[in-house]
């Protein structure tokens, strides 16, 4: 798949050409998946970071809401995905790929979930993410548990295909080793990882900066 995560200052024609070129690379067998991004800069009035974070918490109580400040720059957002967690040697992560909308009508909402989990296209894209994570973790973990079928993860506005993954890390693997191996995931780069990253560097013409980078904390 080829997509974008942000709106863009470049005109729609140029963006469409970039996407079509990426799709052709996939059709030619050079890539399985690549995720392109574009930026959109807007003038703003004075923004209160605390109020913005509070709004995100109220709107996204089922996601990870974050705010990170360094110098005069501030990164704020909300994501349902955790890259990886390591607790006393037990690793947990997830493959979260495949999305559809929610409905306030419970019958329609259930039907949307069923369409998502039955979609050949969505399942194929989800399996690419699962396979990539499993491939990476198999070299540094044991007792790896990867369910054969995804489940539905329901958020307020969308629902995803979700495969929870867990295992025991092999000594002396630590959390930063896992971050190094897993990032960038197929959700922000593509598959094969190195080919997708090289394609992004050659064709995106921007520095993603903090966008899509690992963000988290480490205790003692």
Q: What is the rounded CA–CA span in Å between residue 87 and residue 178?
A: 12
Q: Catalytic pick from 81, 131, 181, 204?
A: 81
Task: Reply yes or no on whether 108 is catalytic.
Answer: no
Task: Reply yes or no on whether 33 is catalytic.
Answer: yes
CA proximity to 37, closest of 3, 87, 80: 3
Q: Catalytic pick from 18, 25, 32, 33?
A: 33
Q: What is the DSSP string of the chain?
A: ----SS--SS-HHHHHHHHHHHHHHHHTTS-SEE--------------HHHHHHHHHHH-TTSEEEEEEETTEEEEEEES----EEETTEEEEEEEEEEEE--SSHHHHHHHHHHHHH-HHHHHHHHHHHHHHHHHHTTTEEEEE--SS-EEEE-SSEEEEEEEEEEEEPTT--HHHHHHHHPSPTTTSEESHHHHHHHHHHHS-S--TTTT--------
Place of tokens 């995804």: 150
Q: Which residues are marked as active site?
A: 33, 81
């Amino acid at each position: 798949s080829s997509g974008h995560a942000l709106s863009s200052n470049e005109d729609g024609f140029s963006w469409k050409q970039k996407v079509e070129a990426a799709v052709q690379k996939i059709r030619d067998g050079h890539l399985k998946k690549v995720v392109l991004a574009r930026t959109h800069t807007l003038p703003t009035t004075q923004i209160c970071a605390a109020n913005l974070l509070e709004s995100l918490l109220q709107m996204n109580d089922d996601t990870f809401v974050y705010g990170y400040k360094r110098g005069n720059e501030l990164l704020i957002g909300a994501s349902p995905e955790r890259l990886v967690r390591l607790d006393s040697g037990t690793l947990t992560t997830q493959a979260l790929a495949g999305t559809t909308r929610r409905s306030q009508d419970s019958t329609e909402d259930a039907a949307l979930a069923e369409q998502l989990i039955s979609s050949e296209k969505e399942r194929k894209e989800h399996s690419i993410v699962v396979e990539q994570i499993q491939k990476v973790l198999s070299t540094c973990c044991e007792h790896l548990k990867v369910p054969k079928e995804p489940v539905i993860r329901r958020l307020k506005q969308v629902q995803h295909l979700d495969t929870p993954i867990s295992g025991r890390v092999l000594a002396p693997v630590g959390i930063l080793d896992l971050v190094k191996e897993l990032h960038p995931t197929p959700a922000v780069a593509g598959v094969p990882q190195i080919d997708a990253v090289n394609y992004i560097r050659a064709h995106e013409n921007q520095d993603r900066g903090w966008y899509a980078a690992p963000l988290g904390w480490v205790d003692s």
